[in-house]
Amino acid sequence: GQQLNQSPQSMFIQEGEDVSMNCTSSSIFNTWLWYKQEPGEGPVLLIALYKAGELTSNGRLTAQFGITRKDSFLNISASIPSDVGIYFCAGQTTGNQFYFGTGTSLTVIP
């Protein structure tokens, strides 16, 4: 099935730094979703975006639904050690199928 292009694949940053990751697709989506997964757990929904151009925040997290409906980014400001995990983007199609990015592994160095 289709897979989204997510970058970067991994990030090693110092505590306090800002983080940015993005996803692109050749198809348009109705919804963009961002999840965080920690070891041994299921993905947890962080932010859901429903309109092109929409900018949504959840605490230190900010995500945007690209105006072309083919991309999205997630920013994390002032990173802390508990931000460690794998972040996945997902796009929802008109037929209600979901396609996932390959993940961005985030390591925060105290």
Partner 1 sequence: NAGVMQNPRHLVRRRGQEARLRCSPMKGHSHVYWYRQLPEEGLKFMVYLQKENIIDESGMPKERFSAEFPKEGPSILRIQQVVRGDSAAYFCASSPWAGGTDTQYFGPGTRLTVL
Burial of 52: CB neighbours in 10 Å, binned 0-12, 13-18, 19+: middle
Task: Compare residues 49 and 76 and give the one whose CB is closer to partner 1.
Answer: 49
Task: Compare residues 43 and 85 and give the one whose CB is closer to partner 1.
Answer: 43
| CB of 41 vs partner 1, minimal distance in Å | 6
Task: Compare residues 16 and 51 and give the one whose CB is closer to partner 1.
Answer: 51
| CB of 25 vs partner 1, minimal distance in Å | 15
1-15 burial code (b ≥16 CB/10 A, e <16): eeebebeeeebeeee
Q: Please name the residues in contact with 80: beta carbons below 8 A apart, sequence gap of 6 or more.
A: 15, 108
| CB of 53 vs partner 1, minimal distance in Å | 14
Using CB under 8 A, list all residues that contact partner 1: 1, 3, 30-31, 33, 35, 40-45, 48, 50, 88, 90, 92, 96-103
